[in-house]
C-alpha cells in the first residue's frame, strides 16, 4: 500500500497545481461552446479515449446530445456541432485527422492537449492546455509545475490522463451549477438496462 498512497498523493497534488494553471477564459469558452452546440463529439485514443468516454457519459446525464467518435451509431458532424479532441501529445494521427475533418465542415474544435506546439492545437478553435507530463519529450514543459522524478510513480501519460479526469469531472460540476442541475436530475438519465 505504500506506493498506492504515495502515487495517489503525488497525482492529486500535481493535478491541482496543473489545473490551477489552465486558462480560465479558454475553459469559459469551452463551456459556452458545449452549451451552444447542437451535438458534442468526443475523440481520443487509449486511456485518453477512456477519460473522454467518462466525460461523454456525464454530459449525456446532463441532457446533452453527445457521441464518441468511432462508435457505430455516431452520425456525421456538422457546422452546429463541436468536437472535443483529446491527445496528450497533440500528435495522435486519428485525433488530428478528426480535428481536421471537423474543421472542414465548420464544426468548432476544442483541443485538449499537453503539447502547446502540437498539430492538434493548430487545428483547434480553442485549446485547453493540460501542462503536464505526457508521452511527448520533456522539452515542452517550461513551467515549474513539474518537479521531481515522476517516471516510476506515474509512467507514460498517467499524469496527463489523471489530471484530465479530475479537470473534466470538475467541469461537469460547473455545468451543473450553470444549468441548475442536481445529482437527482442526472440520475434520471442514468442507464437502467445494464
Half-sphere exposure (Cβ direction) of 46: Cα atoms closer than 13 Å: 15
pLDDT for res 40: 97
Q: Is residue 192 part of a domain?
A: no
Averaged over 2-13, what is the pLDDT?
A: 70
Averaged over 122-142, what is the pLDDT?
A: 69
Nearest to 29 by CA among 82, 67, 101, 69: 82
Band (pLDDT 50/70/90 cuts) for residue 152 is: low
Cell of 170: 470538475
Q: Is residue 74 part of a domain?
A: yes
Q: Is residue 193 part of a domain?
A: no
* CB burial of residue 83 (10 Å; 0-12, 13-18, 19+): buried
Band (pLDDT 50/70/90 cuts) for residue 26 is: very high
pLDDT for res 55: 94
Q: Is residue 38 part of a domain?
A: yes
Nearest to 17 by CA among 113, 153, 147: 147
pLDDT > 80? residue 24: yes
pTM passes above 0.75: yes
- Helix, strand, or coil (residue 27): helix
Band (pLDDT 50/70/90 cuts) for residue 116 is: confident
pLDDT > 90? residue 97: yes
pLDDT for res 145: 44
Domain CATH for 176? 3.40.50.10490
Listed in order, strand segments (DSSP E) in the chain are: 40-43, 66-68, 82-87, 108-113, 126-129
Q: Is residue 161 part of a domain?
A: yes
Averaged over 93-104, what is the pLDDT?
A: 94
Band (pLDDT 50/70/90 cuts) for residue 157 is: low
Confirm whether 24 is a catalytic residue.
no
Q: Which of 20-24, 138-142, 177-181 has the least mean pLDDT? A: 138-142
In which domain, by residue range, is 139 found? 2-184
Q: Is residue 191 part of a domain?
A: no
| Catalytic, out of 10, 26, 104, 161 | 161
Straight-line distance from the first to the last Cα atom of the chain, in angstroms, rounded to the nearest whole number: 32
Q: Is residue 46 part of a domain?
A: yes
Number of domains, the chain: 1
pLDDT for res 163: 85
Q: Which of 103-107, 114-118, 120-124, 144-148 has the least mean pLDDT? A: 144-148
* CB burial of residue 104 (10 Å; 0-12, 13-18, 19+): exposed
Q: Is residue 71 part of a domain?
A: yes
Q: How far apart are CA 42 and CA 85, in angstroms?
A: 6
pLDDT for res 19: 84
Averaged over 8-23, what is the pLDDT?
A: 80
Amino acid at each position: 500500500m505504500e506506493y498506492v498512497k504515495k502515487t495517489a498523493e503525488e497525482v492529486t497534488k500535481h493535478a491541482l497545481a496543473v489545473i490551477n494553471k489552465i486558462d480560465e477564459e479558454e475553459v469559459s469558452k469551452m463551456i459556452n461552446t458545449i452549451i451552444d452546440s447542437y451535438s458534442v463529439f468526443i475523440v481520443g485514443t487509449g486511456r485518453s479515449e477512456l477519460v473522454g468516454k467518462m466525460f461523454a457519459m456525464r454530459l449525456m446525464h446532463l441532457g446533452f446530445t453527445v457521441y464518441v467518435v468511432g462508435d457505430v451509431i455516431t452520425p456525421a458532424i456538422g457546422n452546429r456541432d463541436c468536437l472535443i479532441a483529446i491527445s496528450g501529445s497533440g500528435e495522435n494521427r486519428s485525433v488530428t485527422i478528426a480535428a481536421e475533418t471537423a474543421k472542414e465542415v465548420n464544426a468548432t474544435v476544442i483541443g485538449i492537449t499537453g503539447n502547446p506546439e502540437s498539430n492538434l492545437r493548430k487545428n483547434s478553435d480553442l485549446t485547453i492546455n493540460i501542462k503536464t507530463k505526457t508521452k511527448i519529450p520533456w522539452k515542452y514543459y517550461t513551467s515549474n509545475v513539474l518537479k521531481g522524478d515522476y517516471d516510476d510513480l506515474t509512467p507514460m501519460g498517467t499524469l496527463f490522463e489523471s489530471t484530465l479526469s479530475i479537470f473534466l469531472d470538475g467541469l461537469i460540476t460547473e455545468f451543473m451549477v450553470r444549468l441548475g442541475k442536481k445529482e437527482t436530475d442526472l440520475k434520471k438519465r442514468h442507464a437502467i438496462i445494464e
